[in-house]
Chain A
């Protein structure tokens, strides 16, 4: 069931209406459970397609049940390895092709995010953070929550439980309006901005590989624009999707966590990852990066080694995150590029603090030139690394880099740094002075103005969808 299909609207409206018919908690839990079942069933045409997912869920539930009784580190280790092995097998990672595969087509959508939830439950049950027995229906409602099934946000069980089918949901006109406004804004991002960026990206991408010998400048500009368009597409597609599910969640009493916090205003690569796909970053931080750094620091306790241990942990964390994104070798490159970005950033901070001293480094990082250069280089590096996502075959990725050459890549990064830095300078320094007359803001915030804004967004969505003649798909579904 695509999020942009009329079927999804009907389904969502049906679930919300059914949910609010009764205040009974057990009834509401039943509605949510059935909603999840119907949503997942919409992706399959034969019951066999669902069997691997069911087996994966059963394995996860068995591990959690065992750990809730037997809080052994050995059981946790075996459980994590078993669940990971099952995930790798079902996702058909190209590195493990020789292991064989199931001889029938089956559903793999949602598997990655179910994995995160199961691992989180296992670790938290083992550590005692979750000391209650989780029933099978609660486990199903949590791991297969239809709002987060396709691509998150990755909500913690402790937060999900607090809103799972609760009897009292305080919905008033203002809250409902804001929920609808968020959903519509999400669709506007998804269907207008992301779709137009994708349209332009799909037009420009083939030109990067046209036979012949394009001029150096043309190739660099073409690459920079194409890669930037993909990044714009990815961000608006993904964050629009999040607006839709978070807004819908409000109507079902769920407070889903935010996944984006203006990532392109980050002043460093490390800050960028605190603002981009936040629930995934936090998950990796909680369950991989932090434990790994703790282990390394207990082995090598000298404070002078902190940054270097961090560099190693960044590489490991981003490598795993990269491999999780896809099943081919180019995603290893993606992980290494992300790890390199984080490590260079950390080493730069350490070196600057040593050379200049903490106070002078802080003063330097507050100068306008530094801020906009840092923002520009952060975005352009991310844009470069994302190339792996639109070049899923290593040979194509290597071919593009060879065509650009070191000079072309450097020139493209420099050009994007200037362009993005300049954009943010204008956005921050000039745009705030271009304020509209106050009466326009009053009209905009009035009841009629708010509804007109919503209606015009909906009209724009319909117009663009009609013009593009296609319903955009959710990009992160593939990961």
Chain B
């Protein structure tokens, strides 16, 4: 799966989880840039991404993500 496709799909998941219709993602987007992206909504996001992309994440992968770019790379590696 190419990165552009992952970004499109991931943006849709983010908008759904954070209830923000105009949310735009870049590789540098972090939790500080998205209203309500805390440790709890992070888990909800990971579950939604797992379901949407059909992949599973390990404990250290879930906790170690620093920005959207890393998330996209991880999905690309697994999908």
State the A residues within 8 Å of B (CB): 123-124, 127-129, 156, 158, 270, 282, 285-287, 289-291, 293-294, 297-298, 303, 306-307, 309-310, 346, 353, 358, 362
Contacts and interface: CB of A to CB of B under 8 A. Distances in A.
Interface of B: 35-36, 38-41, 43-44, 46-47, 58-64
A128 B58 contact: yes
B40 to A, nearest CB: 4
Contacts of B38: 270
A306 B61 CA distance: 21
A101 B35 CA distance: 52
Contacts of B36: 353, 358
Contacts of B58: 124, 127-129
A351 B62 CA distance: 27
Contacts of A353: 36
A294 B46 contact: yes
11 contacts: A124-B58, A128-B58, A156-B60, A286-B63, A294-B46, A303-B44, A306-B40, A306-B41, A346-B40, A358-B36, A362-B35
B40 A129 contact: no
Contact of B63 (A290, A303, A307, A358): A290
Contacts of B43: 290, 293-294, 297
Given A294-B46, A297-B44, A298-B47, A129 B39 contact: no
Contacts, number: 56
A289 B35 contact: no
A266 B35 CA distance: 19
Contacts of A346: 40
A129 B62 CA distance: 12
Nearest to A282: B63
Nearest to B42: A290
Given A294-B47, A297-B44, A298-B47, A285 B39 contact: yes
Contacts of A293: 39-40, 43
Given A297-B47, A298-B47, A306-B41, A290 B59 contact: yes
Contacts of A358: 35-36
Nearest to A353: B36
Contacts of A282: 63
A56 to B, nearest CB: 23
Contacts of A124: 58-60
A458 B48 CA distance: 55
A267 B43 CA distance: 23
A211 to B, nearest CB: 47
A238 to B, nearest CB: 23
Given A270-B39, A297-B43, A362-B35, 13 more contacts: A123-B59, A124-B59, A127-B58, A129-B59, A129-B60, A156-B60, A285-B63, A297-B44, A298-B47, A303-B44, A306-B41, A307-B40, A358-B35
A467 B39 CA distance: 47
A362 B61 CA distance: 30
Given A294-B47, A297-B47, A298-B47, A127 B40 contact: no
Contacts of A290: 39, 43, 59, 62-63
Nearest 10 CB-CB pairs, A to B?
A127-B58, A286-B63, A310-B40, A293-B43, A286-B59, A129-B58, A129-B60, A306-B40, A358-B35, A290-B62
B66 to A, nearest CB: 13
Contacts of B60: 124, 127, 129, 156, 158, 286
Q: By CB atoms of chain A within 10 A, which of B36, B46, B59 has the most? A: B59
B59 to A, nearest CB: 5
Nearest to B36: A358
Contacts of B63: 282, 285-286, 290
A462 B46 CA distance: 53
Contacts of A289: 39
A266 to B, nearest CB: 14
Contacts of B41: 306
B54 to A, nearest CB: 15
Given A129-B60, A290-B59, A290-B63, A309 B46 contact: no
A291 B35 CA distance: 23
Contact of B59 (A287, A297, A303, A306): A287
A134 to B, nearest CB: 16
A294 B57 CA distance: 11
Contacts of B40: 293, 306-307, 309-310, 346
Contacts of A309: 40
A287 B59 CA distance: 6
A291 B47 contact: no
A124 B35 CA distance: 31
Nearest to A306: B40
B63 to A, nearest CB: 4
B47 A286 contact: no
Contacts of B59: 123-124, 127, 129, 286-287, 290-291
A124 B40 CA distance: 22
Nearest to B41: A306
